[in-house]
Amino acid sequence: MKILFTTGCLFLLTITVWGQKIISGQIIGKDKEAIIGVVILEKGTANGTTTDIEGNFSLSVAGDSSILVLSYIGFKTQEVVVGNQTNISITLDEDAKELDEVVIIGYGTVKKSDLTGSVTSLKPGDVKQVPSGNVLDAIQGKAAGVDITRASGETGKSPDIVIRGNRSITANNSPLYIVDGVQYSSIQDINPNDIQSMEVLKDASSTAIYGSRGANGVIIVTTKRGASGDVKVSINSYYGESSVAKWGFSGKPAYPVANDAEAYAQIKRENYRTTHNDQYGTDLQALGSDYGNYQNGIQNNYTKDLLHHGSQKDLQIGISGGSEKIKTYFSLDYYEERGLLKNDNLKRYTGRLN
C-alpha cells in the first residue's frame, strides 16, 4: 500500500510539471537597443514580469497556446503566441500617439478606459497653462482631492500639497515623488517645460506597489525625451508683473497705508488703543521712539520702503532630434522672480540632457 501511494503522488506531480512552460528572451527597439521595464503579461491572467536592464525576461506560462502581451510607453502594444518557442527575441515598434492614450501607474502603463484606480493625468498643455516656476502650481485646481496651500509668499518657496486629506497629525503628509522612475524628495526645481506627463495616484490600488512610502499618494513625472527625425528647436518665454492689492472688497484699503507722518501716527494711536482697554494714550505713549520724528515733521513712507512691484520672467530653449540609433533632448532654462517685498528675489538656472 505504501508503494502504490508513493507512485500515485509522483504521477500527479509529473502532470503538474508538464503543464508549465518557461519562456525567456530579450526585447529591443528598432535601434537594436535593449528596452528596460517592458511589461509582459500572459493574456487573460495576472501572471507577468518586466524586462531587466539588459532587456531580458523570463516567465513561466501555462503552455504552447499562451499569448504574451507586451506594453511600454511610447511603443505599440504587441501580442506574441508562445507556440513551441522557449527563447524569443522581440522588436517593439514606436508609437508616439500612444502617449496620449495611456496612463502611467506603478505597475506600468494602462489605457484610461481600463484604469480602475483613482488617477489624475496631466499633459504638457496643462502644465504650461500656469506661468510659474514651480511644477506643483500646475496641479492646483486640476486634480480632485488634491489640496495645495502656501504657508509663505517667499519667492521659490514650494507649496504644501496633501492628497485626500492628512493621514497623520505629527508625521509628514507630503506625497511620494517619482521622476522617470527615480524617487525625488522634491520636484520644485524641475523645469515645467521639460515635463511630458504627470500622474497623480490617489487611492490604495494605485499606490500599493510603493508600500508605506506611497501612503500619502504618489506623483509620477515623466520628462521629455529625444525622438528620431529632424532637429526641432522650441523657445518659450513669458513676463509678468504683480502688485499688492490696494483695495479690499469692503471698499477700504486692503492693508494699512502710511504714506505720511500723520497717517503713520494715527495707525500707532489705534494700535495703542486696542492694547490698552480701548483708551487712547498721549502721543508720547502711543508713538514711543517715533514721537521725536513726528514732532519734527520727519516722516518715512514705510510702505514704499518695504514693498515694490513684483515680476516673473522665464526663458526656455529646448532642442530635440536624432537618428534611429541616437536620440537627444537638450534644454536650458532661466527663471527670475522678484517678490513684493524688497530683497526677496530668486534666480534659477536649470539644464537637462538625455
**Residue range 239-256, pLDDT digits in tens:** 988 887 765 555 565 666
The torsion of the CA quartet 149, 153, 155, 161, rounded to 10 degrees, works out to -10
Largest alpha-carbon pair distance within the chain?
119
Q: Which residues contact 139 (CB under 8 A, 6 or more apart)?
A: 122, 146, 148, 161, 198, 200, 219
**Residue 111's pLDDT is what?**
57
Could you count the other beta carbons within 10 Å of the beta carbon of residue 179?
17
Instruction: Please tell me which residue, 184 or 14, carries the higher pLDDT value.
Output: 184
For 44-104, the DSSP string reads: TSS-EEE--TTSEEEEEES-TT-EEEEE-TTB--EEEE-TT-SEEEEEPPB-GGGGGTEEE
Cell 509668499 sits on residue:
153
**Residue 27's pLDDT is what?**
92
Considering the chain, what is the average pLDDT of its residues?
79
Residue 185 corresponds to which cell in the numbers above? 524628495
- Report the predicted TM-score, pTM, of the whole model to 2 decimal places: 0.55
The answer to whether residue 97 scores a pLDDT higher than 60 is no
**Residue 57's pLDDT is what?**
93
Q: Are 31 and 92 in contact (CB under 8 A)?
A: no
**Residue 334's pLDDT is what?**
93
d(CA 217, CA 205): 11
Among 29-33, 95-99, 332-336, the least confident range: 95-99
Highest mean pLDDT among 74-83, 102-111, 129-138, 199-208: 74-83
Q: What does the chain come to in residues?
A: 354
Highest mean pLDDT among 180-184, 267-271, 336-340: 336-340
d(CA 59, CA 40): 8
Instruction: Please tell me which residue, 348 or 99, carries the higher pLDDT value.
Output: 348
The torsion of the CA quartet 200, 205, 211, 212, rounded to 10 degrees, works out to 70
Measured at the CA of 130, the angle between CA 159 and CA 199, to 5 degrees, comes to 70
